[in-house]
Amino acid sequence: MTRRLLELLLMVSAGAAWGLVRSSAMGAVLGAMLGAGVWLVIDGLRARRMLDWLNRADVSETPRLSGIWQELFERCLKTIKKLEKRARSSDVRLTNFLAAIQASPNGVVLLDATGQIEWVNLTAATHLGLDAQRDVGQYIQNLVRAPAFTSYLSGDDFRAEIQISPVGSRPLQPSKISLQIHPYGSKRKLMLTRDVTALELAEAMRRDFVANVSHEIRTPLTVLSGFIETLQTLPLEAADQMKYLGLMNQQAQRMQTLVSDLLTLSRLEGSPVPGQGEWLSSEALLSQALSETRALSKVIAVPPHHIVWLPGPGFEIAGSKSELLSAMSNLLSNAVRYTPGGGTVRTGWRRRQDGWAEFFVEDTGPGISAEHLPRLTERFYRVDHSRSRETGGTGLGLAIVKHVAQRHGGQISIQSSLGKGSTFSIAMPPTRVRQLKQSEQPAEISHGN
Ligand code: ADP
């Protein structure tokens, strides 16, 4: 300030002195005024430079200033740099915050008071078929047009979530979305979305399963209660009574098999995956499964099947004995149950080129047309309903086989075509297969029936 005053005084005095020298006292006054004027112009120019610099807001530039303007410039520069630093750290925090929301498995949409999109993460964009960049500023009700959403958004009760099925053609877009709005701030809204397609599917499967089990149990129960009523009301000959009791026994057996298969499935789903602890001989497993199959063939087929065991290289499988036996028996009993009497069933274990071990069952039965193949391992899925029931099928056999294979890290595969028989196989990964030494190989035997 003093410097500024000194500058002014210097200019005024210089002007006055110049006026005095050039003329009279009046000249000195005029000279002083002229000096003050010149100072004002110079000061004004500095103020202009300062304003220009402020307008350009370019901190890398240093305007030519002096005195109080230089000081003002330095203070402004310091404040601007401090504000810039603060803005930069806010930016970093905002970026981190948005990145965290971006990484959320849930969809997040921020809406302003009028329902325009302020920000949307990629998950919500996929769920709702939005474009995370282009749709910012658009009204959400123009983009998500499900009627349930429109009435939810226009109401003011957001306590419960709603479910919508977005109609979009985007890849990865889920078919069922759960969505809830949470109001915040001044009429702003936070909208959260969740993909519930899998949950919905699981729920539908559960409903189907309960309906199927009820249906499977109701049929034998109805038959049983019909026979009980007959026995109670009609005076039957001893031979007829025995006949009815035999039929009742069949129905009771059917329910028993169903319950036993259901229990097997639930055990497979609920128990830990079998470890690598127990090594089982592939040929011993097959021998055990085959004795049951031959007995079954004799009971249900006239003439019995020709069952051929094709001996392979001896190896051992690591896994659960009861599970592997159950899977192998299921495939063998299916081959026998669906192949007419006198047909041929070939079975055995073989080692594939890629190191996997494969148990296969090949039959000369009716075969299965291609459209059924992908669904065969679904619970209660049957191609031939009457043959399945006649031969005591529950519709759960292949579901059990698939579970057992998957629990051992393996796969089930089915090759079949109508009229040409079928081949079912279970492949076990190399980690669960151990080749037997030459001395341990089983003796060469042909196991025809
Ligand atoms: P099920 O107890 O009815 O045999 P599965 O789950 O074992 O149930 O098999 C599902 C369906 O697949 C059967 O109902 C049958 O229609 C068909 N199927 C299974 N194995 C064979 C086979 N070897 N030949 C022809 N059809 C078969």
Nearest CA to ligand 1 atom 8: 395
388 CA: nearest ligand 1 atom: 3
Please tell me the distance from the alpha carbon of residue 323 to that of residue 285, in angstroms, as a whole number. Answer: 11
Mutate to test the pocket of ligand 1, among 212, 259, 338, 424 (most ligand atoms within 8 A of CB): 338
Is there a contact between 432 and 280 (Cβ–Cβ < 8 Å)?
Answer: no
Nearest CA to ligand 1 atom 11: 382
pLDDT tens string 387-414: 888 888 999 999 999 999 999 999 999 9
Mutate to test the pocket of ligand 1, among 268, 376, 401 (most ligand atoms within 8 A of CB): 376
Ligand 1 neighbour 363 (Cβ under 6 A)? yes
**Cα 412 to ligand 1 centre (Å):** 14
Domains, the chain, with CATH or none: 2-98 (no CATH), 104-195 (3.30.450.20), 200-270 (1.10.287.130), 279-440 (3.30.565.10)
* Residue 329 CB neighbour total at 10 angstroms: 21
* pLDDT at residue 27 in the model: 86
Give the helix, strand, coil percentages of the chain, each rounded to 5. 55, 15, 30
* pLDDT at residue 352 in the model: 92
* pLDDT of 203 strictly over 60: yes
**Cα 20 to ligand 1 centre (Å):** 126
Using 50, 70 and 90 to split pLDDT, how confident is the model at 447? very low
**Cα 388 to ligand 1 centre (Å):** 7
pLDDT tens string 153-172: 999 899 999 999 876 656 66
Tracing tokens 């028996």 back to the chain, one arrives at 329
* pLDDT of 446 strictly over 50: no
Please tell me the distance from the alpha carbon of residue 101 to that of residue 94, in angstroms, as a whole number. Answer: 11
R_g of the chain, CA atoms, integer Å: 44
In terms of Cα–Cα distance, which of 342, 260, 253 is closest to 302? Answer: 342
* pLDDT at residue 168 in the model: 62
* pLDDT at residue 170 in the model: 64
Using 50, 70 and 90 to split pLDDT, how confident is the model at 303? very high
* pLDDT of 448 strictly over 60: no
Nearest CA to ligand 1 atom 19: 334
What is the token pair recorded at 216? 């499977």
Write the DSSP assignment of 185-231 as a string of letters.
Answer: TTTEEEEEEEE-HHHHHHHHHHHHHHHHHHHHHHHHHHHHHHHHHHH
Ligand 1 neighbour 343 (Cβ under 6 A)? no
Which of 258-262, 313-317, 373-377 has the weakest average pLDDT?
313-317
Ligand 1 neighbour 388 (Cβ under 6 A)? yes
Please tell me the distance from the alpha carbon of residue 256 to that of residue 194, in angstroms, as a whole number. Answer: 42
**Cα 264 to ligand 1 centre (Å):** 18
pLDDT tens string 87-124: 999 999 999 998 998 988 899 999 999 999 999 999 99
pLDDT tens string 9-27: 898 999 888 888 887 788 8
Mutate to test the pocket of ligand 1, among 388, 396, 420 (most ligand atoms within 8 A of CB): 388
| Residues written for the chain | 449
398 CA: nearest ligand 1 atom: 6
Q: Is the pTM of this model over 0.75?
A: no
* pLDDT at residue 243 in the model: 92
* pLDDT at residue 297 in the model: 93
Average confidence (pLDDT) over 206-220: 91
What is the token pair recorded at 160? 């419960």
Mutate to test the pocket of ligand 1, among 334, 377, 402 (most ligand atoms within 8 A of CB): 334
Mutate to test the pocket of ligand 1, among 293, 344, 369, 398 (most ligand atoms within 8 A of CB): 398
High-pLDDT (> 70) share of the chain, %: 96
* pLDDT of 445 strictly over 70: no
Cα dihedral across residues 115, 120, 125, 127: positive or negative = negative
Ligand 1 neighbour 421 (Cβ under 6 A)? no
pLDDT tens string 264-294: 999 998 889 998 878 999 999 999 999 999 9
Please tell me the distance from the alpha carbon of residue 33 to that of residue 411, in angstroms, as a whole number. Answer: 104
* pLDDT at residue 449 in the model: 52
* pLDDT of 179 strictly over 90: yes
**Cα 394 to ligand 1 centre (Å):** 9
What is the average pLDDT score of the chain?
90
pLDDT tens string 29-81: 888 899 999 989 988 888 898 888 888 878 788 888 878 888 888 898 899 89
Nearest CA to ligand 1 atom 2: 393
Using 50, 70 and 90 to split pLDDT, how confident is the model at 384? confident
**Cα 334 to ligand 1 centre (Å):** 6
What is the token pair recorded at 79? 């404040």
* pLDDT at residue 171 in the model: 63
Ligand 1 neighbour 33 (Cβ under 6 A)? no
- The values of phi and psi at residue 187, to 5°, are 65, 15
Strands 344-351 and 306-309: parallel
- What is the maximum span of the chain, computed from C-alpha positions, in angstroms? 160
Using 50, 70 and 90 to split pLDDT, how confident is the model at 142? very high
Is there a contact between 332 and 361 (Cβ–Cβ < 8 Å)?
Answer: yes
Please tell me the distance from the alpha carbon of residue 441 to that of residue 27, in angstroms, as a whole number. Answer: 132
**Cα 380 to ligand 1 centre (Å):** 10
393 CA: nearest ligand 1 atom: 2
pLDDT tens string 418-438: 999 999 999 999 999 998 876
